[in-house]
Every structure is written in structure tokens, then in C-alpha cells.
């Protein structure tokens, strides 16, 4: 049995990743700030697979270095190993030109979508290195193709990708496998707010995207010193 940490686990892609990993017989650590949604998911998983899910409530925007140290201490104390980390949590704000982007929101998006991932990587990397683990960053192909108006979100995703390249290169002598998953458009609640005219039933579902991603991660061979790019 493998143990996986999923950030942004309560909804959308994170929820589906968590559910499907449990269906495969693995254990999941559910990290999110949305307590009601997190508890709903936990209760659902507890019915289908008792003892396979653990909760770790954490607001990535408000967390400080002490919170991340406590997080690392808890992982080490409570779990015998860590096989993979899915860096999925992100804020997707409204499309806004750089000229008019609110500076407070800019800092919040960069902190949640980039800085928090730095802290999580730093605290989980020792555990992943012990277990030939996998580090999977959820990115987005859309800011690459149409960079206008993505603002801090696009900047943070580009920074996250560079962060993954650095981690892979710095640990080339190990068997840790770093992935950058540049995902295409799929139906989520946050996307529905930005594109209210889209029909979500005509789009790839979060369930199908999660299944495709997990299959790709399973099939990809390790390329030492390089982050594996997945386009879905």
C-alpha cells in the first residue's frame, strides 16, 4: 500500500485523485482549507474504504513556517512512509490585465500557488527521497497558449514548473520522479465561474482527468535529473 499527499483535496481534481487512489487500495492524506468539503470527502471515503484517508486541514495562504514544521513533524510521526505528493491546491482569480491587477490579490495568488508549494516540497522531500517517491505538480497549459489576463496565476504556474525542474536536477542521483502535469481545460467549479457560458457536460470531467493523470504517472519511466512533462 502506498501513501499519497494531495493538496487542494476537497474539491475538483484533488477530490477525484483522492477518491481514485483509495479505490486502488492506497492511503491518502487530504490537505485543504475548506473544512466542510474536506469532511464530506473524508466521510465518503471512510464508508467505502475505512481507515484509508487522513485529514490535514491547512490554509496555505495563512500558514507560516511554524505551521509547515508542524506539518512535517506530523507526517514523520504519523505515517510510516510517503510515496507521492500531488501539488494541486491553487487560487484561480478573475481574468485581469496586469495594469489593473490588485496588488494584494497578486501577493495572495503567488503565495498560495508558488510559495506554499516551495514549503511543502521542502518539508516532504526527505520522505520522498527515502521511498523513491513521486512529486507531481499540477500546472496549466492555458497560460502558455494564451498568456494575456492570467496575471499572478500564470506567473505562479510558470514559477512552479521551474521549481520542479530545479528539484529534479538537484536530486538527479536519487530515484525521485518529478512530474509537471500541464493540463488542458476540464470542468471544475472554479472554471465555471470564469467561463459561465461553457457547458460543463461537454468538457472533460475532473474524474476523467484524474484517471488519465494517474495512468500517465504510473506509465512514465524515470529520467534522472529531469522533470517529466505530462500534457493532457
Q: What is the pLDDT of residues 57-76, one digit of tens each?
A: 999 999 999 999 999 999 99
What does pTM read for this prediction? Answer: 0.96
CB-based contacts of 191, cutoff 8 Å, min separation 6: 92, 185, 198
More confident residue, 189 or 93: 93
Provide the 3-class DSSP secondary structure of residue 151.
Answer: helix
CB-based contacts of 2, cutoff 8 Å, min separation 6: 26, 27, 83, 84
Residues 143-151: what's their mean pLDDT? 92
Domain residue spans of the chain: 3-231
Tell me the per-residue pLDDT of 35-59, one tens digit each, with 9 for 90 and over.
999 999 999 999 999 999 999 999 9
* CATH code at 3-231: 3.40.50.720
Report the percentage of the chain scoring pLDDT > 70.
100
Provide the 3-class DSSP secondary structure of residue 14.
Answer: helix
Amino acid at each position: 500500500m502506498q501513501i499519497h499527499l494531495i493538496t487542494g483535496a476537497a474539491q475538483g481534481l484533488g477530490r477525484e485523485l483522492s477518491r481514485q487512489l483509495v479505490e486502488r487500495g492506497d492511503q491518502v492524506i487530504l490537505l485543504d482549507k475548506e473544512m466542510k468539503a474536506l469532511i464530506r470527502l473524508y466521510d465518503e471515503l471512510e464508508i467505502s474504504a475505512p481507515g484509508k484517508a487522513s485529514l490535514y486541514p491547512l490554509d496555505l495562504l495563512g500558514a507560516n513556517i511554524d505551521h509547515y514544521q508542524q506539518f512535517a513533524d506530523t507526517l514523520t510521526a504519523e505515517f510510516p512512509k510517503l510515496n507521492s505528493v500531488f501539488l494541486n491546491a491553487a487560487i484561480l482569480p478573475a481574468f485581469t490585465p496586469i495594469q489593473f491587477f490588485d496588488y494584494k490579490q497578486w501577493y495572495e495568488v503567488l503565495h498560495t500557488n508558488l510559495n506554499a508549494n516551495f514549503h511543502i516540497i521542502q518539508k516532504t522531500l526527505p520522505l520522498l527521497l527515502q521511498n523513491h517517491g513521486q512529486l507531481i505538480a499540477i500546472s496549466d497549459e492555458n497560460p502558455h497558449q494564451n498568456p494575456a489576463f492570467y496575471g499572478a496565476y500564470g506567473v505562479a504556474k510558470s514559477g512552479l514548473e521551474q521549481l520542479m525542474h530545479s528539484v529534479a536536477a538537484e536530486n538527479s542521483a536519487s530515484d525521485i520522479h518529478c512530474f509537471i502535469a500541464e493540463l488542458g481545460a476540464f470542468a471544475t467549479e472554479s472554471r465555471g465561474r470564469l467561463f459561465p457560458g461553457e457547458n460543463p457536460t461537454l468538457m472533460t470531467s475532473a474524474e476523467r482527468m484524474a484517471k488519465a493523470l494517474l495512468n500517465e504517472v504510473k506509465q512514465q519511466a524515470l529520467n534522472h535529473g529531469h522533470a517529466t512533462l505530462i500534457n493532457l
